[in-house]
Amino acid sequence: MQRLLLTMRFDGTRYHGWQVQKNAVTVQQTLQDAIEKVTGVRSGVTGCSRTDAGVHANMFCCTFDTESRLRGNSMISALNANLPDDIAVYGCSEVPASFHPRYSAVGKRYRYYIWNSPARNPFWEKYSLHLRWHLDVDLMNEAAAGFLGRHDFSSFCAAGSSVKDTVRAINRCSVERDGELVVFTAEGDGFLYNMVRIMVGTLLEIAAGKREKDCIPSVIAAKNRECAGATAPAKGLFLDKVFY
């Protein structure tokens, strides 16, 4: 029995997140179907994160144990031949049985995309939040610095989360503009349920003049979800990279 680490990309538009659900199509279930077709065995698959419905991934890592002799490019080709067009495996390597795609990770990077233009862009419609009013990126970037450091991010965790430890370290947080595309980037040792989307929602309220630009430290200190901004839509969020 060998543990294989798969690295993949997916468009989360038509999926109800990563985790298998009884009455919804998920990325995990779809991958398990492909693995079963290739190996003849329905293997358990462990992911690096639980993405929400509609969230995308440029890099998502998961493991499964198999007795199949397929490895590397052979396994990649076989799985991709049995996966839909919106999911693609691009890496396959052998890892020790002790490796866990979530707990072995030392950090993650998320990106949130906003198409900031009076006119919508059909090529970004599924992958960004469309805002017609002009965003002050310099203001948002200055405010985003308030997220840096190790803090209790309870204020930025959606209700219903079962996580007990809400302390996380954010070592990179920025807002940049590339033409009409505005990109929020957050990198840290881990993220809470809906954390990045709430961070974005709070920055958007700052940009709209509904909050002071230096409010983030006080929102963090409150440890109260009601003190933070709205949760930004899922479609603009990408898990961009997992660090091991």
pLDDT at 161: 73
The residue behind tokens 């419905």 is 53
| Residue 203 burial (CB count, 10 A) | 28
Q: Which residues of the chain fall short of a pLDDT of 50?
A: none
DSSP class per residue in 175-227: EEEETTEEEEEEEES---TTHHHHHHHHHHHHHTTSS-TT-HHHHHHHT-GGG
67 shares its domain with 127: no
Q: What distance separates the 2 farthest-apart alpha carbons in the chain?
A: 59
C-alpha dihedral sign at 8, 192, 114, 110: negative
On whether both 114 and 233 belong to a single domain, the answer is yes
Name the strand (E) or helix (H) holding 93. Answer: strand 87-95
pLDDT at 22: 87
* Cβ proximity of 211 and 202 under 8 Å: yes
Confidence (pLDDT) at 162 = 73
Give residue 25's domain range: 2-95
Taking the C-alpha atoms of residue 190 and residue 188, their distance in angstroms, rounded to an integer, is: 5
**Neighbouring-strand partners of residue 62:** 6, 47
In a domain, 102, yes or no: no
Task: Indicate if 82 and 10 belong to the same structural domain.
Answer: yes
Q: What's residue 185's pLDDT?
A: 98
At position 71, the amino acid (one-letter code) is R
Q: For 43-65, how does the pLDDT look when each residue is reduced to its tens digit (9 = 90+)?
A: 999 999 989 999 999 999 999 99
Q: Which of 135, 145, 141 is nearest to 216 (CA)?
A: 145
pLDDT at 154: 96
Total structural domains in the chain?
2
Write phi, then psi, for 73 (nearest 5 degrees). -65, -30
pLDDT at 93: 97
Tens of pLDDT, residue by residue over 8-23, are: 999 999 999 999 998 8
Whether residue 229 is contained in a domain is answered as yes
Beta strand 107-116 pairing with 237-243: antiparallel
Check residue 159 and give its pLDDT: 81
- Which pTM does this prediction carry? 0.95
Q: Which of 40, 72, 95 is the last residue of a domain?
A: 95
Q: Domain holding 77: CATH number?
A: 3.30.70.580
**H helix or E strand, kind and range, residue 137:** helix 137-144
The per-residue pLDDT for 160 is: 72
Q: Are residues 114 and 211 in the same domain?
A: yes
List active site positions: 52
What's the pLDDT score for residue 228? 97
**One domain, residues 131 and 219:** yes
The answer on 43 and 86 residing in a single domain is yes
Structure tokens at 71: 């490895």
